[in-house]
């Protein structure tokens, strides 16, 4: 189906229960879904070159509007031809709106119906982020997909706080749509509502009524109990517009992806595979591997015998442990490369299982195998 913005389309190819696989086409890439978007906060996926990221199968990554707004500035990125040309990423790019920083930098901001006033985390300078400014910055960045500015309430927030966040997000969504976009830039709306299914569905009705190219669920994985998140995703995702891409923001672990894909999610992003890699944790088909543990020091086997990435076909667990313990920069690079390859392999396997009408069985077997070999403790 052709989406509201010219040059963008989304087509579902196969469905197994609520799980589905398809293609989200932008002006720069055709993205097989469900897909994971590596996070390139400051126009870089930490420790990886664009070619290395592309080798994992990724065809869309995420960059952070707030951080690029502050440094090097959106105008400077525009000078270089936009964020993709600036970082030499030839595929699709999604930019968030700065809405997550409204949540994560709560001690440095005040919020009202017009927008958000920040104190810069870099130098303390006073900044004003409104829906119009967020869209202006994203237009200068020139991403394929721009997210609307939203308000993300913390997990466990009172119902009134969540309802106020929904109200502001709806007001801001309309203002974002009324702002000029870069040529060929799609826009996604964001649904809030915490873990309250009734609030999510009420807000979905408001956001889905607007002419967005895709719909995202924000405000998950922000402190709410994981079972509550899973239950909410199960009930809400199938009710999102079936003809548009469905995106769950900031989620998550391999278990989160497996559950979300089963509910019908098309796009995910999360810093977890890159962040955990920098702490010496490898994500594998057999669960999380803690490379700091002494058990690996003489181990000549790869970090994941089922993985065909360049790290697993070249290096031993013993060598990777040495790099982690010695705090060598190569440790972060290699662990990140492996983790991103694993996420790419996970979503490819899920797409195959959906096409073959065996997603439920595949998901159960995969989760059981990962939990059975997990080295970190209670797997979440």
288, 327, 322: which is closest to 303 by C-alpha?
A: 288
User: How far apart, in whole angstroms, are the C-alpha atoms of residue 232 and residue 240?
Assistant: 12
pLDDT tens string 311-342: 999 999 999 999 999 999 999 999 999 999 99
pLDDT tens string 164-208: 999 999 999 999 999 998 899 999 999 999 999 999 999 999 999
pLDDT tens string 60-76: 999 999 999 999 999 99
Q: Using alpha carbons, list the distances in angstroms from residue 328 to 199, 272, 278, 358.
A: 47, 20, 10, 42
Active site residue 304: no
Q: Using alpha carbons, list the distances in angstroms from residue 150 to 146, 162, 192, 193, 262.
A: 12, 12, 8, 12, 26
DSSP 121-169: TTT--EEEE-HHHHHHHHHHHT-SEEEPP---PPTT--HHHHHHHHHHH
Judge whether residue 8 has pLDDT over 90: yes
pLDDT tens string 204-235: 999 999 999 999 999 999 999 999 999 999 99
Judge whether residue 380 has pLDDT over 50: no
The residue among 291 and 104 whose pLDDT is bigger is 291
User: Mean per-residue pLDDT for 262-273?
Assistant: 98
Q: How confident is the model at residue 377 (pLDDT cuts 50, 70, 90)?
A: low
- Average pLDDT of the chain is 96
Q: Is the peptide bond before 72 cis (omega within 30 degrees of 0)?
A: yes
Q: Considering Cα of 62, then 217, then 157, then 376, what sign does the dihedral take?
A: negative
Active site residue 96: yes
Q: What is the distance in angstroms between the CA of the first residue and the CA of the last residue of the chain?
A: 36
Judge whether residue 83 has pLDDT over 80: yes
Could you tell me the residue ranges of all domains in the chain? Answer: 9-270, 276-367
Other CB atoms within 10 Å distance of the CB of residue 305: 10
Active site residue: 150, 256, 269, 304, which one?
269
9-270 has which CATH code?
A: 3.20.20.105
Q: For residue 23, with 0-12 CB atoms within 10 Å meaning exposed, 13-18 middle and 19 or more buried, which class applies?
A: middle
Active site residue: 16, 96, 150, 256, which one?
96
Number of residues in the chain: 380
253, 211, 210, 208: which is closest to 230 by C-alpha?
A: 253
């Amino acid at each position: 189906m052709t989406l509201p913005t010219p040059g963008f389309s989304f087509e579902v190819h196969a469905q197994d229960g609520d799980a589905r696989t398809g293609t989200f086409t932008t002006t720069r890439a055709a993205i097989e879904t469900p897909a994971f978007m590596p996070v390139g906060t400051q126009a870089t996926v930490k420790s990886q070159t664009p070619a290395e990221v592309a080798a994992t199968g990724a065809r869309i990554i995420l960059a952070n509007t707030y951080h690029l707004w502050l440094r090097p500035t959106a105008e400077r990125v525009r000078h270089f031809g936009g964020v993709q040309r600036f970082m030499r990423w030839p595929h699709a790019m999604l930019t968030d709106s700065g809405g997550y920083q409204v949540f994560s930098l709560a001690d440095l901001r005040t919020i009202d119906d017009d927008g958000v006033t920040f104190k810069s985390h870099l130098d303390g300078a006073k900044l004003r982020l409104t829906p119009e400014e967020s869209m202006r910055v994203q237009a200068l960045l020139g991403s394929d997909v721009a997210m609307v500015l939203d308000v993300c309430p913390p997990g466990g927030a009172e119902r009134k706080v969540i309802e106020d966040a929904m109200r502001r997000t709806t007001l801001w969504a309309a203002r974002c749509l009324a702002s000029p976009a870069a040529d060929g830039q799609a826009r996604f709306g964001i649904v809030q509502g915490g873990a309250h299914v009734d609030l999510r569905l009420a807000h979905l009705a408001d956001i889905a009524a607007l002419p967005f190219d895709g719909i995202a669920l924000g405000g998950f994985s922000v402190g709410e109990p994981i079972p509550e998140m899973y239950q909410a995703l199960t009930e809400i995702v199938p009710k999102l517009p079936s003809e548009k891409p469905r995106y769950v923001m900031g989620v998550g672990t391999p278990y989160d992806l497996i559950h979300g894909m089963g509910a019908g999610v098309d796009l995910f992003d999360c810093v977890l595979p890159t962040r955990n890699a920098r702490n010496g944790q490898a994500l594998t088909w057999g669960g999380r591997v803690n490379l700091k543990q002494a058990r690996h020091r003489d181990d000549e086997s790869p970090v994941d015998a089922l993985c065909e990435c360049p790290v697993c076909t070249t290096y031993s667990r013993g060598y990777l442990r040495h790099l982690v313990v010695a705090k060598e920069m190569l440790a972060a690079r290699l662990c990140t490369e492996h983790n991103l390859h694993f996420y790419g392999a996970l979503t490819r396997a899920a797409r195959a299982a959906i096409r073959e009408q065996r997603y439920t069985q595949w998901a159960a077997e995969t989760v059981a195998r990962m939990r059975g070999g997990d080295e970190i403790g209670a797997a979440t």
